[in-house]
Amino acid sequence: MAQKVYPTMGKVIYEDAEFEKLLPKSSSVEVIASGFTWSEGPVWNRSGNYLLFSDVPENKIYKWDQKSGLSVFLTPSGYTGLGEYSDERGSNGLIIDNQGRLISCEHGDRRISAMPLTTGGKITLSAGYNGKRFNSPNDIVQHAGNSDYYFTDPPYGLPKKQDDPSRELKEFGVYRIDKAGKTSLQIADLTRPNGLAFSPDGKTLYVAQSDPDRAIWMSYPVDDKGNIGKGTLLFDGTPMVKAGKAGLPDGLKVDKQGNIWSSGPGGLLVFSPKGKLLGRIEMGELTSNCAWGDDGSVLYMTVNGYICRIKTAVTGAGW
């Protein structure tokens, strides 16, 4: 059987010669699925060899694999109440934890949930802090060492965003759920925390902030107990936003060499561990997130209404 040929889009921009070692000049972006309202939260299931991702406004999680293509995996994905609720009511960020469960950031139900992929049936890992409901959990990561979960809570899933009358927490925080199930506020001074990821050694947490007035990526030390320390600026993308490049700092992943691959102004940006911009994948559409898949060297990207992928010369952290 002939190998399927996918359409391509976007182009690779080389800001630094080192970027060629990560993405050869022959690299191209394939479009493997399309027709979504706003795709987000991609995660690769290594045991089943397939991709899961959210369509946030449509309240669905989709599944894609090379053999069968696209199918609906879960609906509703993030809002189980009555009515429409908001324009971003579904699940957003997804991971598969070290127990093999699908962990979802649920905008509409304002919680972090866990669901076994084989049997279904969700449980709530956390729905609030100090007796107050979250805004709309957005993205999540699990620490490889302590197995705790860390997630962001901006207002994007609320019906009236930051001005919604049902908002209970003043902070747009970065939170931690520890092994005992306790939720703690780890970072309280970001205006729009969004994507996050750990360095390969787990000693640094990177957080993207999707604020057009301060479109930044921050770097935070992680101590031996899993607590987050004082952050430093990794990269400031605000000038790129002001120059008219579409998009904001959003979902990100890290490769084994410690480079950060993140959606942002101008597509998907790639930084060195020290915050040097190496290059970017200019998609011509708003890019929301990315995830390593296949053998760990293929980067899957959620790009507005598209699902795309590109073969890299590196491997994702944790593979």
Give the residue numbers marked as catalytic.
250
CA angle 180, 319, 224 (to 5 degrees): 40
15 marked among binding-site residues: no
Question: Coil, strand or helix: which one is 262?
Answer: strand
Q: Is the CB of residue 218 less than 8 Å from the CB of residue 206? A: yes
Q: Is the CB of residue 115 less than 8 Å from the CB of residue 104? A: yes
DSSP for 201-250? TSSEEEEEEEETTEEEEEEEEB-TTS-B---EEEEE-HHHHHTT----S-
- In whole angstroms, give the CA distance from residue 244 to residue 61: 31
SS3 content of the chain, % helix, strand, coil (to 5): 5, 45, 50
Place of tokens 């399309």: 34
87 marked among binding-site residues: no
3-state secondary structure 69-124: EEEEEECCCCCCCCCCCCCCCCEEEEEECCCCEEEEEECCCCEEEEEECCCCCCEE
40 marked among binding-site residues: yes
Q: Is the CB of residue 112 less than 8 Å from the CB of residue 100? A: no
250 marked among binding-site residues: yes
- In whole angstroms, give the CA distance from residue 21 to residue 314: 8
CA angle 210, 211, 217 (to 5 degrees): 55
Quick one: tokens of 82?
Answer: 């009555």
- In whole angstroms, give the CA distance from residue 234 to residue 218: 5
- Tell me the binding residues for a divalent metal cation: 40, 194, 250
Annotated binding residues: 40, 138, 194, 250
As annotated, the binding site for substrate includes: 138
